Amino acid sequence: MTVEPLLLPEPGPGPERLRHDAELRALDRTFDRIRDTVNTGIDVLNDLGCGLRRLPEESLQELVVLPLTGDYRRIRQNSAAIGHLDAALARYAASTARMALAVGPGWEGDAAASYLLRLGRHAAAARGAGELLAGAVPALEEVARFAERLAVEVEELVVELVDKGTRLMTRLLARVAGPAGWAVLGAEVAVHGLDAVTDLVDDARRLVAIVDRLLAMKVEVVDQVDEHLDRLAALRRVADVVREELGR
């Protein structure tokens, strides 16, 4: 009897299934400069009574990419690896069953019974482990799809964040050139009220709103993972199932 080999190739990173923003990777280098300039402007506007929140001091990567997106390609890679292992376990179970069928009819007694029982346990362990693994694959794909959708939204928000931040920085620099410029701006506010800086205030508030949305995504990630926690926890039970079947 020929036993088929068990193939466990290492899968590559999973594919991107959604359309991503090509500009994102070019923006991180400019964000720090924009943030620092905008925060300087916000400080001045707050001195005039605008009551604006400053942008966080973290870098774009620290603020957005690392805590929010999740490595959806690695999640899909794990899903593919589980698929390979599931197929290998199914083949192992089938091969073990064929070994039992190949036992000669003349072999009887306790040794034969023990051998056949052992083969049956191996096949049952492989089938049970495979079923647990197969149940986790859809959950992994759902988590990966959610993570990628979130990543696309993050990319779009980051592009808007940098775009509006650049515009606000340009307006601030155009309105104020050195201490004299800030004094002129203060005089305009004294005469016209906050209407004199409405455009600056609106852009600053939009930037803060974008940052708030990005930070809120952290909660969404945790909630999404919690929804699938029980299904993913099945992976932890694979070894227990195998030990239980083989230890009888």
Mean pLDDT across 222-234:
72
Predicted confidence at residue 181, as pLDDT, reads 61
Q: Give the number of other CB atoms < 10 A from CB of residue 94.
A: 15
Domain-embedded: residue 3:
no
Task: Look at residue 11 and tell me whether its pLDDT is greater than 70.
Answer: yes
Domain-embedded: residue 42:
yes
DSSP 134-196: HHHHHHHHHHHHHHHHHHHHHHHHHHHHHHHHHHHHHHHHHH--HHHHHHHHHHHHHHHGGGG
Task: Look at residue 245 and tell me whether its pLDDT is greater than 60.
Answer: yes
Task: Look at residue 241 and tell me whether its pLDDT is greater than 80.
Answer: no
Provide the 8-state DSSP code for 52.
Answer: P
Domain that holds residue 121: 30-246
Q: Contact, 122 vs 246, CB < 8 A?
A: yes
Q: Contact, 241 vs 129, CB < 8 A?
A: yes
Domain-embedded: residue 5:
no
Domain with residue 125: its CATH number is 1.20.1270
Which position has the higher pLDDT, 101 or 7? Answer: 101
Domain-embedded: residue 140:
yes
Q: Contact, 39 vs 121, CB < 8 A?
A: no
Instruction: Give the lowest-confidence range in 148-152, 185-189, 239-243.
Output: 185-189
How many percent of the chain have pLDDT more than 90? 0
Distance CA 226, CA 218 (A): 13
Q: Give the number of other CB atoms < 10 A from CB of residue 198.
A: 11
- What's the structural domain count of the chain? 1
Q: What confidence tier does 115 reach under pLDDT thresholds 50, 70, 90? A: confident
Q: Give the number of other CB atoms < 10 A from CB of residue 246.
A: 12
Domain-embedded: residue 11:
no
Distance CA 210, CA 208 (A): 5
What is the pTM assigned to this prediction?
0.53
Domain-embedded: residue 16:
no
Domain-embedded: residue 13:
no
Q: Contact, 75 vs 144, CB < 8 A?
A: yes
Domain-embedded: residue 227:
yes
Q: Contact, 92 vs 126, CB < 8 A?
A: yes
